[in-house]
Amino acid sequence: MSLLQKFDDDLKVAIKTSDKLKVSVLRMAKAALKNRQIEKRGELSEDEILSVISMLSKQRRESIEQFSKGGRDDLADKERQELEILQSYMPSQLTPEKLDRIIIDTIKESSAQGIKDIGKVMSLLMPRVKGAADGKVVNQRVKELLEKI
């Protein structure tokens, strides 16, 4: 079953069960997917769909951070619930140990000599972990490992 079909099926179920939050999140995601489809002028691949969901998830994480700083825990909680729904459509996240192994292998492959080669490492690494790890976390971990070289 394609991801788009799963969105449609889950939206129907959410409407029938009156799950207002899930209906809202799924409609927002479908609108973002439709906009990307219009921009592309064609059907979206599974990777492109995951990219849109990842972008929406990133927006939720940033909102949670901002609302928490502003003392708006009620809004931060709502964003956390939305993020949880979006994350259910993403591939399972890499464990820190597995992520470190992938990063170390990529560093060796790229022949990186230190922090100055972070761009080289990231350009090889991100396609491998796309959707399975948060880019901010990956970047931070790559920096930490490159500083040890």
Could you give all domains of the chain from N- to C-terminal order, each with its CATH number?
3-87 (1.10.1510.10), 96-147 (1.10.10.410)
Q: Which of 41, 42, 40, 9 is nearest to 26 (CA)?
A: 9
At 69 the three-state DSSP class reads helix
Phi, psi (degrees; rounded to nearest 5) at 119: -65, -40
- For the chain, the residue count is 149
pLDDT of 73 over the 80 cut: yes
> Residue 111: what pLDDT?
87
Measure the CA–CA gap between 130 and 54, rounded to whole angstroms: 9
Whether residue 121 contacts residue 112, with contact meaning beta carbons closer than 8 Å, is answered with: yes
Measure the CA–CA gap between 60 and 45, rounded to whole angstroms: 23
> Residue 148: what pLDDT?
80
Measure the CA–CA gap between 131 and 34, rounded to whole angstroms: 20
Measure the CA–CA gap between 143 and 137, rounded to whole angstroms: 10
DSSP 8-state secondary structure symbol assigned to residue 116: G
Q: What's the pLDDT tens digit per position in 104-127?
A: 999 999 888 888 889 999 999 988
In the predicted model, what is the mean pLDDT of residues 61-65?
A: 94
In the predicted model, what is the mean pLDDT of residues 11-21?
A: 95
Instruction: Characterize 100-136 residue by residue with b for buried, 16 or more Cβ atoms within 10 angstroms of its Cβ, and e for exposed.
Output: eebbeebbeebebeeeebbebbbeebeeebebbbbee
> Residue 1: what pLDDT?
63
Q: How far is CA 143 from the centre of its chain?
A: 20
pTM equals: 0.76
